[in-house]
Amino acid sequence: MTEGPRPRKGKMLYSPAIGPMMRILRASALLFSATFLATFPALASVIVLEGQYQGKNLFVQNPFSEAGVGFCIFEVTVNGQIATDEINSSAFEIDLAVYGLKVGDKVAVRISHKDGCMPVVLNPEVLKPKSTFDIVKQEVSTDGLFRWTSSNETGELPFIVEQKRWNKWVRIGEVMGNGTPGEHTYEFKVMPHSGENTVRVKQVDLSKKPRYSEPVKFTDPSVTVVTWSPPKPKDEVVFSASTLYEIYDQYGNIVKRGYANRIDVSTLKKDLYYLNYDNKTGESFIKR
């Protein structure tokens, strides 16, 4: 009996059922790939906004994706929770009120978007703290311990402590505010000068407009009047007690400032200078 031709190795025998089956497999693979890409779009970056809830919502401009199909943003989260806002539109609002936030609560918003496009948050400043404090009480002990109680804070901002010296307000320190409603008490140790002292606190928010407390006056009877010498120093100016000081030149430029009982002036050029110290203003000396 004569055998028929054998198939070559490495070649698959053709079957009429294989063609349709391969087409079905290719179609399934394409469908899976499209579903995968739609579910996990490529990321350009995540826009992160952090701040404190001020009772207002965020507004977002949402361009089309780079491919021109669908919008740029595909997910928004607020404090880790997926937002339920309708983000499939050219502009939408992130409603922060639905998360049970209280004014002053911390907020973190993450906006995830596709590659090749960039959403725009129109009002990110609504998460920035605002200065809204009211002073309930403030006092200074005779030794300079300044205490104040505030209410109606809506954001974490520092209280800047200022002292009236030399016919101007001088920043002498700061205390971070609590930033939440309710009453909060703070304190700061002031270095008194001789005679009557005046202090206050202020806050500056995004608007750049300072908000001040009323000035408070006090006198520390233990602080004596400070004197200095010599009138024509070569190496140093010596005070009778430690004091805040400023030295400025004839053009009004500050050349030295600090708190000490003596000042090294050896590096200053020979010229006329003016000295602020204790509660005295504009006394002059000649550097020799």
Q: What residue ranges in 142-253 does DSSP mark as E strands?
A: 145-151, 158-165, 168-176, 184-189, 196-204, 210-212, 216-219, 228-229, 236-248
Size of the chain in residues: 288
Closest CA to 102 of 181, 24, 162: 181
pLDDT of 262 > 90? The answer is yes
pLDDT score for 104? 86
Which structure tokens are listed for 195?
């005679």
Please write the tens of the pLDDT for every residue from 77-101: 999 999 999 999 999 999 999 999 9
pLDDT above 70 coverage of the chain, percent:
85
Q: Where are the domains of the chain?
A: 43-127, 134-219, 228-286
Which structure tokens are listed for 92?
């939408």
CATH number (2.60.40.10, 3.40.50.170, 1.20.1070.10, 3.90.1640.10) of 134-219 reads: 2.60.40.10
| Cα separation, 194 vs 283, whole angstroms | 16
Which of 104-108, 134-138, 272-276 has the weakest average pLDDT?
Answer: 104-108
pLDDT of 27 > 80? The answer is no
pLDDT above 90 coverage of the chain, percent:
77
Per the prediction, the chain carries an average pLDDT of 87
pLDDT score for 143? 87
pLDDT score for 23? 53
| Cα separation, 105 vs 243, whole angstroms | 42
At 166, is the pLDDT very low, low, confident or very high (cuts 50, 70, 90)?
Answer: very high
**What mean pLDDT do residues 219-228 have?**
95
Phi, psi of 283 (to 5 degrees): -75, 145
Neighbouring CB atoms inside 10 A of 109's CB total 21
Please write the tens of the pLDDT for every residue from 103-124: 889 999 999 999 999 999 999 9
Task: Count CA atoms within 13 Å of residue 74 on its CB side.
Answer: 16
pLDDT score for 51? 93
pLDDT of 181 > 90? The answer is no
What is the Cα 209 distance to its own chain's centre?
Answer: 16
pLDDT of 175 > 80? The answer is yes
- In a 10 Å sphere around its CB, with 0-12 CB exposed, 13-18 middle and 19+ buried, how is residue 192 labelled? buried
| Cα separation, 186 vs 139, whole angstroms | 11
**What mean pLDDT do residues 228-244 have?**
96
Closest CA to 65 of 97, 43, 39: 43
| Cα separation, 118 vs 66, whole angstroms | 10
CB of 74 closer than 8 Å to CB of 38 = no
